[in-house]
Amino acid sequence: MSDPEVIVVGGGIGGLGAAYALRRQGLRVGVLERSASFGEVGAGIQLAPNCTRILDAYGLLDEAKALGVVPDSMVMRDATDGSELTRLDLRALEERYGSPYMVIHRSDLHGLFLRACERAGVELVHSQQVVGYENTPTGARVSFEDGRTQEARVVIAADGLNSVARKLLVDDEPVSSAYVAYRGTVPATEARVADVDLSEVAVYVGPGCHFVHYGLRGGELLNQVAVFESPKALAGESDWGTPDELDAAFARTCDFVRDGLPFMWRDKWWRMYDRDPIMHWVHGNIALLGDSAHPPLQYIAQGAIMAIEDGWVLGEHVAPHQGADGSVDWTGALAAYEAVRPEHCRRVVTTSRAWGQLWHLDGLAREQRNALLRGRDTRDWSFIDWLYGPTALEPRDEPEMFHPVPLASAGHDPVPPASPAQPVVAVAAGRG
């Protein structure tokens, strides 16, 4: 790389988003990607207003809309009987938050950021396996698998769930949820899609499992996600999340959900991990970003969004710490970044865990949850204002959290200790 001021390690959505945000501030930025090419694996992804607002600020929202779908509603249904539990009017949601809720293929979103970085002059280098990070008297250094090194004033580690840089700050490991996700896309020409309203994002919540679907690429594809708890994982077996477990997990669900299972990619699956939140992301001139700092479970569809927000916030804090000669007070910029982002992301990670428990209840707790959801006003924004409003740049700007509603308030007997009370509203239909 040619004398970058900032090195971003990781060419995923978060890394490219951060690189673009910093390049917009006039900095020389290079991205190191370990794979042989820049690309993204997966299917659909949901972008809430706290993300599309940033895309709009970047001048990328219209391109994103052309590649994705702006749905009319988000619906939560019971996976066992198919009945509707609650919904969000996404057109009204756009009016409230000033930006749309949209869905897009992960590869399309990644490609959007990749092209933006290319246009902006970000240096993009693939096939670079970073194995070490260290601070230097004048900045930071990364070391490669082949023994080479590269230095810059600052290094942003967007190196994912199994981050090498994270070990500079904490000695922890990913936390397995024992849940696994299967994904698949179905062409609109298939009979399966004829029975689906592509103007909605739908999630079917069931005992120990859930099923998500929504349209992609202007309605050309139906995206499906099937998530379930693996008995093999709970038993400590290494070969878990296999297709036989997929079929068994959804055996109690309604016909519509079961009919979607043959369309899943059954030769690959994604085991679901997160990490316990940490409140320090900066080590000298090295900073964590995205999943290296805060990998969440996917239940409120904020993983990639948080990474995009991280990059935007960092870029916005560079500006006031930049001198007339273009030099940056990185100590001040990184301190401002670390002052605001960890608390927000801690809330997202812990709320995602709680929503996963809520979605997968059984027995009495399931009945109580359903009763509360059915009684929810579709214009009740109290559970999502903290999430979908403007991204905070200062700790004082972080909004108050919602107030959880105990399941027992549904008028049934108290929830057993094994099923703790959880907040009840469909924030998002889940990532896929």
411: pLDDT strictly greater than 70: no
Overall average pLDDT of the 411-423 stretch: 39
d(Cα 86, Cα 77) in Å, to the nearest integer? 7
420 pLDDT band (50/70/90 cuts)? very low
What pLDDT is stored for residue 2 in this prediction? 85
Which residues, other chains included, contact 418 with Cβ-Cβ below 8 Å and sequence gap of 6+?
Answer: none
If one compares 348 and 410, the residue with the highest pLDDT of the two is 348
What pLDDT digit, counting tens, does each position of 133-166 carry? 999 999 999 999 999 999 999 999 999 999 999 9
- Count CA atoms within 13 Å of residue 115 on its CB side: 11
406 pLDDT band (50/70/90 cuts)? confident
What pLDDT digit, counting tens, does each position of 44-83 carry? 999 999 999 999 999 999 999 999 999 999 999 999 999 9
31 pLDDT band (50/70/90 cuts)? very high
Give me the catalytic one of 214, 299, 337, 388. Answer: 214
378: pLDDT strictly greater than 90: no
Query: Which tokens belong to 114?
Result: 């990749």
Domains of the chain, first to last: 6-42+106-174+276-352 (3.50.50.60)
What pLDDT digit, counting tens, does each position of 227-273 carry? 999 999 999 999 999 999 999 999 999 999 999 999 999 999 999 99
What pLDDT is stored for residue 195 in this prediction? 82
Overall average pLDDT of the 204-231 stretch: 96
Which residues, other chains included, contact 222 with Cβ-Cβ below 8 Å and sequence gap of 6+?
Answer: 185, 186, 187, 188, 190, 192, 193, 196, 198, 213, 214, 215, 216
What pLDDT is stored for residue 430 in this prediction? 39
What pLDDT digit, counting tens, does each position of 92-139 carry? 999 999 999 999 999 999 999 999 999 999 999 999 999 999 999 999
192 pLDDT band (50/70/90 cuts)? very high
Its pTM stands at 0.94
What pLDDT is stored for residue 103 in this prediction? 97
Is 214 among the residues known to form the active site? yes
What pLDDT digit, counting tens, does each position of 319-376 carry? 999 999 999 999 999 999 999 999 999 999 999 999 999 999 999 999 999 999 999 9
